[in-house]
Chain A
């Protein structure tokens, strides 16, 4: 018995002391260290993602099917209301694929941001009791958003194949780039907003409203060509530049360019010839820029998160 105690003591004597809370020193090294810490908690992250998904659908009999029913319902609504009633489908070939592609990538972004924003408050029970890198919570929200995205994405791919519109071209390379933009910006905003939301609860409602607005600020249910036409008609050219300054818009455009083949060729609807989408000429460059700025932004957001996270447990 006492042997065991002595062995434990001897082992502990060899261990280095650790600070109970990693104090934040504001250097770049701490960013790298945070990433390493989180990587060390991969297994926990996986559990939290599964937890997030499970907790969400736990009490429902249809379970995770709900993650599909919502976007499919939205698809039907937009297809009927905007496509048919308002006539957007007359100017957009394969309107269903177009809308679903936009909804899918937008859904990823909005779910990361809204889920991330409430992730710290929503996990108050854990945050008040256990010590771990708190970035894990917005990241878990991201993980569960990614899961839903992948499910939708598979449906989208199957749909394109069934409709004979399989997106087999070099444009497919835009898809991972667009997803990367959404992930980087989404995670950055998720981190930032989740931390601010602890101190200012209005943020989560603000985010909901902002998402409603931003949904219409990207070409999801109307085509990019409509924006170009509108800008040309009004004669204000910087309008399109302003429109393209939104990283999600770039991601949506890239995603559509990759997944929606009909948008890149001339097509005929009801005897009317529709020219291909006037994709922004410098889309590649814009994607690269958005990725670059996004990374810088993410680093800043993570720093802010680190600064604020010390007081999470007592503020919740």
Chain B
């Protein structure tokens, strides 16, 4: 079983703690001033809201790899963005400690007009590294991503695989304590996916914490010690991996 590879950590501290997190999205039909004014009095009709997350509470201890799974639209990406501090909760809160690197829905925050090199520095800086620190990691980032001379090409000319390669390479080279991964590996080719898996295993041995969103049951079974299943924004299962996959299948049936 994969958990056998995990290092023993005595008394592992909690690194992510979510407390009754709820998130409501308000869906407006329009953003233009004209419609806003025309519909002013009847604005209730032109907005509907729904809860993407409802009272989600869990704690993650250092060194665990948690798979966050659920049907499309169940709120996985939303939860990850909340943990990453990119969107706010409506109720409840998320607390965390340690450096967080996030690979959210198709990659890191890159600026399309800048080269790969410049984006590496930009992202390093966003993750709290100084220019000097980034410079130290730079060569291994490029090497890991295998994008070679394209590092000096504007990222808008990258293929989606190259984009994710660079994003993943940056995220794993900045020494994060917590890694958030949202389905990004799917676009990499087979050798690169394998390379990423190896890197993730190495991360697990280092005792880093990983929250992993994926639709691939084999990947989840392979990597995670624990699975949290979301359905319509609520946790319907939280426990060991095998039961998690079964619970996930049950949510598909209704």
Give me the interface of A with B, judged by CB distance under 8 Å: 1-2, 4-6, 8-9, 12-13, 15-21, 23, 41, 43-44, 47-48, 51, 54-55, 58, 123, 125-132, 199-202, 310-311, 313-314
Contacts and interface: CB of A to CB of B under 8 A. Distances in A.
A129 B109 contact: yes
Contacts of A17: 17, 95-97
B118 A54 contact: yes
Interface of B: 7-13, 15, 17, 25, 31-33, 36, 62-63, 81-89, 93-98, 102, 104, 107-114, 118, 121-123, 125-126, 130-131, 154, 177, 205-208
Given A130-B109, A310-B87, A43 B207 contact: no
A125 B154 CA distance: 15
A51 B63 contact: no
A21 B9 contact: no
B15 A12 contact: yes
A9 B15 CA distance: 9
Greatest chain A CB density within 10 A among B9, B86, B112, B118 is at B86
Contact of A51 (B25, B32, B114): B114
Contacts of B10: 6, 9
A132 B109 CA distance: 12
B87 A313 contact: yes
Greatest chain B CB density within 10 A among A12, A48, A123 is at A12
A16 B94 CA distance: 13
Contacts of A43: 125, 130-131
Nearest to B84: A131
Greatest chain B CB density within 10 A among A9, A44, A47, A51 is at A9
Nearest to B14: A17
Contact of A9 (B13, B31, B95): B13
B95 A8 contact: no
Given A6-B10, A43-B131, A129-B104, A201 B32 contact: yes
A55 B114 contact: yes
Contacts of B131: 43
Nearest to B12: A9
B110 A125 contact: yes
A243 to B, nearest CB: 29
Contacts of B95: 17-20
A313 B86 contact: yes
A310 B97 contact: no
Contact of B88 (A23, A44, A58, A129): A23
B63 A126 contact: no
Given A5-B63, A21-B87, A130-B108, A15 B98 contact: yes
Nearest to A48: B122
A310 B125 CA distance: 22
B244 to A, nearest CB: 23
B111 A125 contact: yes
Given A20-B94, A58-B154, A13 B9 contact: no
